[in-house]
């Protein structure tokens, strides 16, 4: 990237917007100095994200297969991901990968197996991991401790307790927070936002889902990461510029935007 971004939105499915025009949403984010990283979810989506991010200078991507989609994961998926990474310097991480015991617990073992394979692949590629963990925090941490050697791990849309966040941070894991911190009743998320060390905080939207207040219930978009930053700044009695500066520095440390 050419100039210093204001905020790095570390998880946005801007390619999935329906109510908003995608090009307009991206240009609105660009005007606010926001760089966006788009994860892939399915085995087909890795190709879609690869193509999508090539259309925009300020959009980067992750390749990876989401826990709900691991039934389609094969060794070919790994070799496809490797080819995409080698040919597209804007693929800067592996994601979103992880464990989700909320929707379907019937294939937990397969989820774990594929999560481990994608961790080992990230290690081999020397790329960070963007991790989806829902009602699976203990298993996620246990697997990371055991199998992750050299990739920086990010818990996207972190939904656990402050105590568990601190345990993760001890292992060098980053905590990414999104629109939930703006929700009135999200006391746990607010407690995390107010108290974790700034050095381990990242910002995201997870759009089109989880739009922050005042857009709660509507379609989310990358620009709304500014509301997340503002809510965290308020909770920490600091300025939005301070939150932007710290989280951008964290993201730049993790992702080698210009290195490949
Ligand atoms: Ni997501």
The neighbouring-strand residues paired with 36 are 9, 59
Whole-number Å distance, alpha carbon 129 to ligand 1 midpoint, is: 13
Answer whether residue 5 shows pLDDT above 90.
no
CA 89/CA 191 separation, integer angstroms: 37
What is the mean predicted confidence (pLDDT) over 14-38?
A: 97
Which pLDDT score is estimated for 179?
A: 98
Whole-number Å distance, alpha carbon 189 to ligand 1 midpoint, is: 17
> DSSP of 187-220, one letter per residue?
HHHHHHHHHS-GGGEEE---TTSSPPTTSTTS--
Which pLDDT score is estimated for 3?
A: 65
Tell me the CA distances in angstroms from 239 to 35, 127, 133, 231, one per residue in order. Answer: 20, 31, 29, 10
Which pLDDT score is estimated for 105?
A: 73
What is the mean predicted confidence (pLDDT) over 197-208?
A: 98
Answer whether residue 125 shows pLDDT above 70.
yes
Categorize the per-residue pLDDT at 1 as very low, low, confident or very high, splitting at 50, 70 and 90: low
As separate numbers, helices (DSSP H) first and strands (DSSP E) second, the chain gives 9, 8
Whole-number Å distance, alpha carbon 207 to ligand 1 midpoint, is: 7
Mean pLDDT for the chain overall = 96
Task: Give residue-wise pLDDT tens across range 141-161.
Answer: 999 999 999 999 999 999 999
What is the mean predicted confidence (pLDDT) over 61-82?
A: 97
- In a 3-state reduction of DSSP, which class is residue 168? helix
Which pLDDT score is estimated for 260?
A: 44
Which pLDDT score is estimated for 4?
A: 76
CA 196/CA 163 separation, integer angstroms: 10
The torsion angle over the Cα atoms of residues 34, 38, 171 and 134, rounded to 10 degrees, is: 120
Whole-number Å distance, alpha carbon 35 to ligand 1 midpoint, is: 16
Share of the chain above pLDDT 90, in %: 94
Higher pLDDT, 54 or 258: 54
> DSSP of 63-112, one letter per residue?
E---GGGGGG--HHHHHHHHHHHHH-TTEEEEEEEEEETTT--TTHHHHH
What is the mean predicted confidence (pLDDT) over 56-62?
A: 96
Whole-number Å distance, alpha carbon 82 to ligand 1 midpoint, is: 21
**pTM (predicted TM-score):** 0.96
Tell me the CA distances in angstroms from 14 to 49, 59, 154, 246, 251, one per residue in order. Answer: 10, 9, 19, 24, 19
Which pLDDT score is estimated for 257?
A: 83
């Amino acid at each position: 990237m050419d100039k210093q971004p204001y905020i790095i939105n570390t998880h946005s499915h801007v390619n999935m917007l329906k109510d908003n025009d995608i090009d307009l949403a991206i240009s609105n984010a660009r005007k606010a100095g926001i760089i966006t990283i788009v994860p892939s979810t399915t085995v087909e989506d890795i190709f879609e994200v690869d193509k999508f991010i090539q259309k925009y200078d300020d959009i980067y991507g992750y390749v990876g297969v989401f826990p709900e989609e691991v039934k389609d994961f094969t060794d070919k998926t790994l070799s496809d991901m490797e080819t995409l990474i080698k040919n597209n310097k804007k693929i800067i991480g592996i994601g979103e990968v992880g464990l989700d015991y909320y929707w379907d617990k019937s294939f937990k073992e397969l989820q774990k197996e594929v999560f481990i394979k994608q961790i080992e692949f990230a290690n081999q590629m020397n790329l960070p991991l963007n991790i989806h963990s829902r009602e699976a925090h203990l298993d996620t941490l246990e697997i990371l401790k055991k199998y992750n050697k050299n990739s920086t791990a990010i818990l996207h849309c972190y939904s656990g307790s402050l105590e568990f966040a601190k345990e993760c941070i001890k292992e060098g894991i980053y905590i990414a927070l999104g629109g939930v911190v703006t929700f009135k009743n999200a006391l746990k998320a607010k407690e995390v936002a107010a108290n974790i060390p700034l050095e381990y905080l990242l910002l995201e939207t997870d759009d089109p889902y989880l739009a922050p207040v005042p857009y709660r219930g509507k379609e989310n978009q990358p620009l709304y990461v500014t509301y997340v930053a503002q809510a965290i700044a308020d909770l920490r009695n600091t300025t939005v510029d301070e939150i932007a500066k710290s989280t951008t520095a964290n993201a730049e440390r993790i992702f080698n935007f210009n290195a490949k």
